[in-house]
A and B are shown apart, each in its own frame.
Chain A
Amino acid sequence: MNDTELSTVVRESVADIHSATPVAQIISRGRAVRARRRIPGVAGALAVAAGTALAVATLLSSGHPGLVSPGHPGSHPASARLAAWTVAMQANGDIDVTINQLQNPVGLQSTLRADGLPVNVSFSSNPLSSSCRPYDTTENVLSAVAQFSTIHGRAYLVINPSALPSGTGVYIFDEPGAGLPSPSPGTPTLGSGQPAGIIPPPAGITGPLAVGLVYASQQCTG
């Protein structure tokens, strides 16, 4: 079987699949998308309200300088007085993460892994890495693993590694474009570009912060 024949086989395998949604229904839904975009700041609220995700709006600004928590400091951008994030291991084994800015995900990932947590961190980037496989879980399990809160624009995350189901790891990510405009047509990658009339989120922030579980693997969680 050559490549052409194989391509035909693949194409024919789904040839009977047809869209059944009337265009009027799509347009009606499109109007709702448009209306949603006219409400600045709705992004975080949507994600928080949307079911099992543990998500918080991390609308951080430089107007709330505060003390840096003890522990491992994150990156220090020249324009900011705060570390981007800090990590502190508690006596009971919990890991406290304070996130001031969604920067230096690789550093945060390395720090958490050094503390023994299987983790993958992704800020302002692509969809879930192909090396990571989502782990099907419940809100209760997720809540036992990670607790989120925000105070004065900072995100506080408490991770309890002992609550992780066997063979799983933590995935910390931002939610680019949640409730915000869809990708810019010029660059079909999520979160790039903001159509006119939309108030963009603060620099470096493309959406709410969230936590999920993934199957642990060398490639995904270290």
Chain B
Amino acid sequence: MGTQQLDFAEFYRSAADECLRTVLVSIGDQGTAREVVDEAFARAWASWRTVSRHPAPKAWVVRTALNASISRWRRHRREVPVADPVGVADRPTARGASASLVDPQIMAALMRLPARQRQVIALRIILDLDTANTAEVLGIAPGTVMAHLGRAMAALRHDLQPELQQENRS
């Protein structure tokens, strides 16, 4: 295994889970998320000389995976990422992964958000990108990122607060 492969392997091991969770929160379907993240990492390997010098390689992978998920919809019309937002957490998942690995209440609340707000939540909270990098990945203004984040957090709080309080009481 050459130096290039060693570097990539290290990056993959350290970033794969985080990228997968970010894409999962963005698109809601675990099977699709796994598929497009694998594809994005494969593309990262193929361009590793340049990706390894990118200021935020994880953001590059996530952006590539999100683009791949759109291409996937375009090619396979029956695999719509969020056709049924409420039921998405209960869908069967690919490769034997259990849906119970994801908190169904939180995921359902996330899927009720507009797609762009969900992407901002995923990049800011799961991938821990700052506002500027999030804006760059999504191709929107930093102010728009902050507005989406504010609205998304308010909606999630409103959606989840009663359920979480109920859990705390019981």
Contacts and interface: CB of A to CB of B under 8 A. Distances in A.
Nearest to B25: A14
A29 B47 contact: no
A183 B83 contact: no
A55 B16 CA distance: 32
A222 to B, nearest CB: 19
Contacts of A26: 12, 38, 41-42, 45
A184 B53 CA distance: 12
B47 A182 contact: yes
A138 B76 CA distance: 9
Interface of A is mostly: loop
Contact of A183 (B17, B37, B63, B121): B63
Contacts of B169: none
Contacts of B45: 26-27, 29-31, 33
Interface stretch (A56-64, A92-100, A127-135): A127-135
Interface in A128-148: 128, 130, 133-139, 142
B71 A185 contact: no
A53 B75 contact: yes
A21 interface: yes
Given A12-B103, A23-B13, A6 B160 contact: yes
Given A6-B156, A13-B106, A212-B77, A20 B115 contact: no
Interface in A194-222: 195, 210, 212-213
Contacts of A11: 125-126
Given A23-B13, A126-B139, A130-B114, A51 B38 contact: no
Nearest to A21: B38
Contact of B60 (A7, A17, A37, A188): A188
A18 B17 contact: yes
Contacts of A133: 82-83
Nearest to B95: A20
A186 B136 CA distance: 10
Contact of A19 (B17, B43, B71, B74): B17
In the complex, which range does the number of interface residues on chain B fall in? 35 or more
A33 B30 contact: no
Contact of A1 (B67, B80, B114, B157): B157
A39 B9 CA distance: 27
Interface stretch (A72-80, A104-112, A156-164, A173-181): A173-181
A26 B139 CA distance: 27
A12 B106 CA distance: 10
Interface in B94-148: 95, 97, 101-103, 106-107, 110, 114-116, 121, 125-126, 136-137, 139
Contacts of B77: 52-53, 134-139, 142, 212-213
Interface centre among B53, B71, B102, B136 (most CB of A within 10 A): B71
Interface of A: 1, 3, 6-7, 9-21, 23, 25-27, 29-34, 37, 47, 50-53, 55, 126-128, 130, 133-139, 142, 173, 175, 177-178, 181-186, 188-190, 195, 210, 212-213
Given A14-B102, A26-B42, A52-B78, 18 more contacts: A6-B160, A9-B106, A13-B106, A14-B103, A18-B20, A26-B45, A29-B42, A30-B45, A34-B46, A134-B77, A134-B83, A137-B78, A175-B74, A181-B47, A183-B67, A184-B50, A185-B50, A188-B60
